[in-house]
Amino acid sequence: MATQTFLDANELVLNMGPQHPSTHGVLRVILKLDGEKVIGTDCIIGYLHRGIEKIGENRTYPMFAPYVDRMDYISAVSNGLGYCLAVEKLLGVEAPPKAQAVRVILTEMNRITSHLVWLGTHALDIGAITPVFYTFREREEALKIFEAYCGARLTTHAFRIGGLQYDLYDTFERDVRKFCDDFLPRIDEYEQLLTGNRIWVERLTGIGILTAEDCKRYGVTGPLLRAAGVQWDIRKAFPYSGYERYEFDVPIGRNADTYDRYLVRMQEMRQSVRIIRQAVDGIPEGPIMAKVPKVMKPPAGEVYVSIEAPKGELGYYIISDGTITPYRVRVRPPSFVNLQALDKMAKGALIADIVAIIGTIDIVLGEVDR
């Protein structure tokens, strides 16, 4: 009788990453396989750890603001908004109405650019190469507006604590309206390419299911939670920056799978356009900066402020001890928490689906590792 060789072993451990085109950065996943079936995963993260929270304790409040852009670097505007809101809450000030409206416009445009990067790369992972060219074409138009407004395209540092640094440039409203008009039909184009595409549907339907119950157990938020049928969005639950003034829907899915998450994100881009149009039509006149002291020393205290970032709940827990530097800055990153559910979603899937599941979580490793 032949002795057992490694070929007879049922379990195989396979390393994926940290340098792998489908892990969207430096994520390393150790896969435990039974044939082609995944029976367990272990994520090794931290390759991009820069100690953002430690840096925060060693910088003044305004000095730390550019650093937060470098966490989720494809939605830097959202990161900056969350940080500014948290420090404003500590200081007890509120940005003036004009600044709030501009913040909403830029943050929603940032949600669109973030979802476009997700859509392009996710489709690329599945094997559809065309969408990424289209999504990056549209993203470029949005980045041009960021650049014209604040000089930077990605790590924008667009907002300041208390409001805005720069007033709008002359053609801002016109550019934003044109972007909205051009962009809306483009979403239909993407959908024509993908929504009914047989390969796309079959690769995504029923893959990576994470039920509403499981989402809550793992603390998963954002489009993943909404695709599971929970109509929850921080813009509605705890409105900030004047979101309560705008009409928009919170799209939800039913099947909690990768395909529904795709549909939810597509709908979210349409809703973002809807918000931007309302905001740009009603930019109030007035100052762009609240009265904040030149040297910021928030009274001793602590706040937790969170926003609906493109990827989920992004929270800042800041403790002030009354000096010019925060005593503690904690960032509650959506990517980090959502990635934890990978194991749950991947169990029982095939190895080819892992790529779809990593893509559907929509992680940015800069934020996972901070």
Partner 1 sequence: MESTPWESELTLDLHRQFGSQIIEFASYREQNFLIARAGAVPAIIEYLKLQRGFDYLVDITAVHWPEREEPFDLIYILYSFSRNERIRIKTRIAEGDRPASVVSLYPGANWLEREVFDMFGIEFAGHPDLRRILLPEEWTGHPLRKDYPITQMDQQWVREHIGIESGQ
**Interacting stretch for partner 1, rule CB under 8 A, among 53-61, 181-189, 193-201, 257-265?**
53-61
Residues contacting partner 1: total by CB under 8 A: 43
Binding of partner 1 at residue 313 (CB under 8 A)? yes
- Cα–Cα dist 215/192, whole Å: 30
Closer to partner 1 at the Cβ: 166 or 238?
238
In terms of Cβ atoms closer than 10 Å to its own Cβ (0-12, 13-18, 19+), residue 160 is buried
Closer to partner 1 at the Cβ: 186 or 330?
330
State the nearest-atom distance from the C-beta of 358 to partner 1, in Å: 16
Per-residue binding string, partner 1, 89-118, x by CB under 8 A, is xx-x--------------------------
- Cα–Cα dist 72/265, whole Å: 18
Q: How many CB atoms lie within 10 A of CB 282?
A: 12
Judged by CB under 8 A, which of 139, 160, 235, 370 binds partner 1?
370
Subset of residues 249 to 308 that bind partner 1, contact rule: CB under 8 A: 299-304, 306
- C-beta of residue 265 within 8 angstroms of C-beta of residue 231: no
Judged by CB under 8 A, which of 94, 332, 350, 351 binds partner 1?
332
Strands 28-34 and 37-44: antiparallel
Closer to partner 1 at the Cβ: 284 or 299?
299
State the nearest-atom distance from the C-beta of 370 to partner 1, in Å: 8
Subset of residues 196 to 255 that bind partner 1, contact rule: CB under 8 A: 216-220, 230, 232, 237-238
Q: How far is CA 323 from the centre of its chain?
A: 31
Subset of residues 337 to 366 that bind partner 1, contact rule: CB under 8 A: 337, 340-341, 344
Closer to partner 1 at the Cβ: 80 or 315?
315
Closest residue by Cα to residue 153 from 86, 69, 224, 237: 69
Q: What is the CA radius of gyration of the chain?
A: 21
Exposed e or buried b for every residue in 326-355, given b needs 16+ CB within 10 A? beebebbbbbbbbbbbbebbbeebebebbb
- Cα–Cα dist 73/59, whole Å: 20
State the nearest-atom distance from the C-beta of 71 to partner 1, in Å: 13
State the nearest-atom distance from the C-beta of 178 to partner 1, in Å: 38
Closer to partner 1 at the Cβ: 133 or 304?
304
- Give me the residues that bind partner 1 (CB under 8 A), please: 45-46, 49, 51, 53-55, 57-58, 89-90, 92, 216-220, 230, 232, 237-238, 299-304, 306, 313, 315, 317, 319, 327-328, 330, 332, 336-337, 340-341, 344, 369-370
